[in-house]
Structure 1
Amino acid sequence: MSSSLKLRPPFRVEHVGSLVRPRELYDQRVLLEQGKCAREDILAAEDAAVAHVVKLQRDLGLGTITDGEMRREVYFEGVFNKLQGMTDLPHRPMTEFKSYLPHVKILTAMGLTEFPSCYCSGKIKRTESFYVDHFKALKSIVPPEDVNRIKVNMCPPTWMHQRHGSDLTYDPAVYKSDDEYFDDLGIAYRAEIKELYDLGCRNIQLDDPTFCYFCNDQTMEEMEQAGVDHEALLDTYIRAINLCTLDRPQDLNIGLHMCRGNYRGGVHFTEGGYHRIAVKLFKTMDVDTFYLEYDTERAGDFSPLKYLPPNRVAVLGLVTTKNPKLEDPEVLKARIHEAAEVVANGVPPRSKEAALNQLCISPQCGFASVWQGNPVTEEDEKQKLLLLINVAKEVWQ
């Protein structure tokens, strides 16, 4: 683990990644889904949408700038479907997804009998980039002094494995163990990260709801019933992340975002506080920033923050993206100070000022993790972000 705190003061407020699609792009996506246009027909609308949301973020004064995931159908698109060795399975049976996972339960309850996924049928190799072209396009429309504010969001290495487990993720004739599988995935991710870094990227965020499943008591019980050692699996997934971040440059900030689900209409999948995973998470996960969902009671209290090391940053997701109601700024300020007190009295103890310097604030998740988005408008989105900015000015003035 690197030892220095990588927090940059202008990054006190961020948004997590995805933003509401502008109407033109939204309408084009509808046509694409209906089969009334081709993928290339919406490229111009995507370019215009990226330029629009970049201006929005710069005008608001947010710490980081993303492309709002305007070029994606869903947040995890663009990694596994590009890896050599992965076979796309657009109609994979729900019986091949792990039934103890909360989102699998919901999809099954919706009547789905199959769902798009993939299967590792050969050795994993990165033969094309994931998001390099997206970064280059974003870099071309921001001033040179803002390039270091660009953040690239990407799907985590755990994504397919958490869906299908050790028995249905990869061909046992190709990989004999989870370690072998994640070793090669780590090589692929590090190559992507290096290329992004060489082009000027200094902020990468891995979006991983997997870890919040380990916070759910019922899920843990059902994993045990299925014969899954969830503590060993948690260790495996932490190792998978650490393989991706291994030997990264000192000035590259890598964050891990954990949420409890953000499907169409802002649907959540799971619940449970971070206390079950906090020690392992904060002590052994080799990332610089933890993006933590804290907008509702289902996320638990701040007590797990007592394990936050002095050289790590926690971004508190205090504002919901799931509805347009604005949070009370006084409540938000009180919650920030409450979290800072927990960090200050943690292990090891530190001053309240030092603890506050380890905290940032954000919405709890993206505003549109899938292209259809949550039940909020762009104006709602702006008001939520402005609320965070104004609160931050008062807390960290």
Structure 2
Amino acid sequence: MSRPDSENLHLCPPFRAEHVGSLLRPIELLEKREQFRNNQCSAQEVKAAEDAAIVSVVKLQQDVGMKTITDGEYRRQYFFEGMFEKLEGMTFVSNRDLSEFKSYVPYVQLYHKMGMKEAPSIFCTGKIKRTVGIHTEDFKYLRSLVPADQVGNIKITICSPIWLFLRHGSKQTYDLSVYKDDDEYFADLLNAYREEINKLYSLGCRHIQIDDPSFSFFCDENMVIGMKEAGEDGDELLDICIKRYNQLLQGRPHDLTVSVHTCRGNFRGMHYSEGGYDRIATKLFTNLEVDCFYLEYDNERAGTLDPLRSLPRGKVVVLGLVTTKTGQLESVGEVKSRVDQAVTIISEGAPKRPRAEALAQICISPQCGFASVAEGNSISEEEQREKLSLVVKAAEEIWPC
């Protein structure tokens, strides 16, 4: 996707009908993973089960009319797996004390409410280097499953580079004997990310989606209060997060689409935070140098569509109007009505623009993945298919050409 501008919005990818990335794992794959945990099968057998399941999930996406193709995140237990675990210098810690987590982060607040004293995480114990491919083999396998002219439609989802930093802060993200400050830490981390992204690009990947609930967390009143109580400036912290993203994306290929998906948590249908995008819309849409924003908009906890008036020309929003948390099916009419509201708000924003231009800046999708964790949400495979089909049908009626 060429970098969009106000005169020429290229929307392929993303397409009018989108999905966020994760899809329900088949029971056979979940059972095989359980067997592996119980030492009843080999890692090779698990991979074979993943490969077979990915073939099926690619067909599902093609059958319902989705042009964007992902592997359903079938090789992961959690949406954020991948980048940090495979980088040299990062160490997995199964029982980090909760005192080493920022208590104002919404899911950490939940840990405390549950009476947890420790939780698994990752700590930087050495200089960060990318010594192996992170998602490159995943991309290669996906590439083998689609026609050559559709390779550019493959989307790879990756964890946010600020994920650990927002969770732990400067003093607990990295060993201070390894990195003296955040600038040194992020210089190496972002370089590793950049190497992975560039390798994916060289293999034919043209769409990277960064999954990051963190931005929506900044909209939550409890987090805002918690940051103040901790003596931290929430506005400054948001600026720092945006700055790190922009450092990562400097010099990226012109035809590489980079998008950000932000939601309010999706752990087996649970959410962690609430609040509209009003607090962050101007900075997020204007200052964050990505092409596209996947936004959760399936119920009242996401707030109104009004923050879309801050969307500048030349950027795209994918409105997550269809929930993945329950099987209740929305109607095409409901989706079309919400898109019409969004068009009005964007067209009357700053700067004002024709409705046709505002409509060209919109796509639609489910609000989040169907399985941000392997167990998935409380929804059946048939209900998942119906929701994906609904998004496609609505898009075809809204953008008939």
TM-score of the aligned structures, taking structure 1 as reference length: 0.96
2:332 aligns with 329
Counterpart contact for 2:13–2:257, Cα < 8 Å: no
1:77 aligns with 81
Task: Tell me by how many angstroms 1:275 deviates.
Answer: 0.8
* SS of alignment partner, residue 211 of structure 1: helix
Q: Which amino acid aligns with 1:182?
A: F
Out of 342, 359, 371, the position equivalent to 1:339 is 342
The number of aligned residues is 396
Q: String of CA shifts for 1:94-142, please: whole Å, max 9, x gaps.
A: 2211111110121232333222111112221111111000000110111
Counterpart contact for 2:13–2:153, Cα < 8 Å: no
Counterpart contact for 1:6–1:251, Cα < 8 Å: no
Deviates further, 383-392 or 7-16: 7-16
2:155 aligns with 151
Counterpart contact for 2:13–2:207, Cα < 8 Å: no
Q: String of CA shifts for 1:189-235, please: whole Å, max 9, x gaps.
A: 11111100011000110000011111012211111111112111111
2:65 aligns with 61
Q: Which amino acid aligns with 1:285?
A: L
Counterpart contact for 2:95–2:121, Cα < 8 Å: yes
2:104 aligns with 100
Task: Tell me by how many angstroms 1:246 deviates.
Answer: 1.5
Within 2, Cα distance between the matches of 1:9 and 1:151?
A: 9
Deviates further, 238-247 or 43-52: 238-247
Equivalence map 1:266-285=2 (5 Å): 266-285=269-288
| CA shift in 2, pair 1:35/1:109, >3 Å | farther
Task: Tell me by how many angstroms 1:3 deviates.
Answer: 5.5
* SS of alignment partner, residue 59 of structure 1: helix
Within 1, Cα distance between the matches of 2:342 and 2:306?
A: 8
Within 2, Cα distance between the matches of 1:89 and 1:245?
A: 29
Out of 371, 375, 380, the position equivalent to 2:374 is 371
Q: Which amino acid aligns with 1:67?
A: D
1:28 aligns with 32
Within 2, Cα distance between the matches of 1:96 and 1:314?
A: 35
Counterpart contact for 1:214–1:234, Cα < 8 Å: yes
Q: String of CA shifts for 1:251-274, please: whole Å, max 9, x gaps.
A: 1111000000011x2110001111
Within 2, Cα distance between the matches of 1:313 and 1:103?
A: 28
Which 4+ stretches in 1 moved above 6 angstroms? none
Q: String of CA shifts for 1:329-376, please: whole Å, max 9, x gaps.
A: 211111000001111111111110110010000000000011000001
Task: Tell me by how many angstroms 1:33 deviates.
Answer: 4.0
Within 2, Cα distance between the matches of 1:239 and 1:9?
A: 25
Is 1:351 the equivalent of 2:386?
no
2:396 aligns with 393
Counterpart contact for 2:78–2:373, Cα < 8 Å: yes
Out of 198, 207, 214, the position equivalent to 1:210 is 214
Q: Which amino acid aligns with 1:46?
A: E
* SS of alignment partner, residue 26 of structure 1: helix
Within 2, Cα distance between the matches of 1:268 and 1:204?
A: 24
Within 2, Cα distance between the matches of 1:349 and 1:186?
A: 36
Q: Which amino acid aligns with 2:246?
A: N
Task: Tell me by how many angstroms 1:35 deviates.
Answer: 4.8
Task: Structure 2 unaligned segments of length 5 or more: list them.
Answer: none
Counterpart contact for 1:6–1:253, Cα < 8 Å: no
Within 1, Cα distance between the matches of 2:201 and 2:221?
A: 39
Counterpart contact for 1:29–1:42, Cα < 8 Å: yes
CA RMSD in angstroms, aligned pairs only: 1.5
* SS of alignment partner, residue 257 of structure 1: strand
Task: Tell me by how many angstroms 1:2 deviates.
Answer: 5.0
Q: Which amino acid aligns with 2:94?
A: P
Counterpart contact for 1:54–1:65, Cα < 8 Å: yes
Q: Which amino acid aligns with 1:286?
A: E
Out of 95, 113, 116, the position equivalent to 1:112 is 116
Within 1, Cα distance between the matches of 2:38 and 2:305?
A: 44
* SS of alignment partner, residue 389 of structure 2: helix
Counterpart contact for 1:12–1:63, Cα < 8 Å: no
Q: String of CA shifts for 1:167-203, please: whole Å, max 9, x gaps.
A: 2111222222222222222111111111000110001
Within 2, Cα distance between the matches of 1:387 and 1:175?
A: 49
Counterpart contact for 2:4–2:291, Cα < 8 Å: no
| CA shift in 2, pair 1:393/1:159, >3 Å | same
| CA shift in 2, pair 1:9/1:289, >3 Å | closer
TM-score of the aligned structures, taking structure 2 as reference length: 0.96
Is 1:380 the equivalent of 2:383?
yes
Task: Tell me by how many angstroms 1:86 deviates.
Answer: 1.0
Deviates further, 218-227 or 360-369: 218-227
Q: String of CA shifts for 1:271-295, please: whole Å, max 9, x gaps.
A: 1111101111011101000000000
Percent identity at matched positions?
51
Counterpart contact for 1:18–1:70, Cα < 8 Å: yes
Counterpart contact for 1:79–1:130, Cα < 8 Å: yes
Within 1, Cα distance between the matches of 2:163 and 2:16?
A: 29
Q: Which amino acid aligns with 2:83?
A: V
Is 1:200 the equivalent of 2:204?
yes
* SS of alignment partner, residue 89 of structure 2: strand
* SS of alignment partner, residue 349 of structure 1: coil
2:176 aligns with 172
Is 1:127 the equivalent of 2:131?
yes
Counterpart contact for 2:96–2:119, Cα < 8 Å: yes
Counterpart contact for 1:241–1:285, Cα < 8 Å: yes
Q: Which amino acid aligns with 2:241?
A: Y
